[in-house]
Amino acid sequence: MLSIREVSKSYGGARPREVLRSVSLEVRRGEYVAIVGESGVGKSTLLNLVAGLDAPDRGSVVLDGRDIASLDDTARTLLRRANIGFVYQAFHLLPHLTVAQNVALPLSLNGMDLAQARARVLEMLGVVGLAAAAGVYPRELSGGEMQRVAIARALVHRPLLLLADEPTGNLDAETSKQMLALLREQVKRESGAGILVTHSALAAASTDRVLTLSADGLRPG
């Protein structure tokens, strides 16, 4: 479903720094993959390339048969809107939208009508255990609750691919454990596949396959 072939990416002007060098990865439908590695090795860059938020210098990123690198910005955005869900370390809920509005956002962007969207949003909030918090604003929630909302938002439109970037980085151990279980369960239920970027061995252990990203590329283990 996702095929990354020989992807390289550098940043910087006069003295560019090569962040990724000839990285390849295949992710099959239903698979949940963890990518681990040291800070600055390019894990998040890889996620951005997969999401079409950035373009590789070399190589290809093919999602569901479409080469993301060959699309223009609008087409990449529309592809992302329909097929990708994001979970971030810092939650990134929109502070001025209620919990339900945050979760409804991807559905609204994908043109779903309000009645249908409301039912789906309540369903997802129920799944993450926050049905009662639909009308509250993110600032009224704890970190763990905010991350549950973020997970609901990432999966509400049943994306092909879920991208999670250090989703437990800001959470305590117990909450992290609950969140990882929820993520795995929901990826398997609502999404085609998932990629989890993390430093944490515990988080990595919740996935089907663990890959280590280093200067030499991606390797199993």
Binding site for another protein (CB under 8 A): 11, 19, 39-40, 42-45, 48, 51, 53-54, 73-74, 77-78, 80-82, 84, 86, 88-90, 92, 94-97, 101, 105-106, 108-111, 113-114, 137-139, 153, 165
Minimum CB separation of residue 209 from another protein in Å reads: 23
| C-alpha–C-alpha distance, residues 219 and 204, integer Å | 14
Minimum CB separation of residue 72 from another protein in Å reads: 10
Q: For another protein, which is the closer residue by CB, 26 or 140?
A: 140
DSSP string, 130-191: -GGGTTS-GGGS-HHHHHHHHHHHHHTT--SEEEEESTTTTS-HHHHHHHHHHHHHHHHHH-
Q: For another protein, which is the closer residue by CB, 12 or 221?
A: 12
Minimum CB separation of residue 153 from another protein in Å reads: 8
Coil, strand or helix at 68: helix
Minimum CB separation of residue 70 from another protein in Å reads: 18
Q: For another protein, which is the closer residue by CB, 26 or 172?
A: 172
> Which spans in the chain are helix H?
43-51, 73-83, 99-109, 114-127, 143-155, 173-190, 201-204
DSSP β-bridge partners for residue 213: 218
Q: For another protein, which is the closer residue by CB, 75 or 181?
A: 75
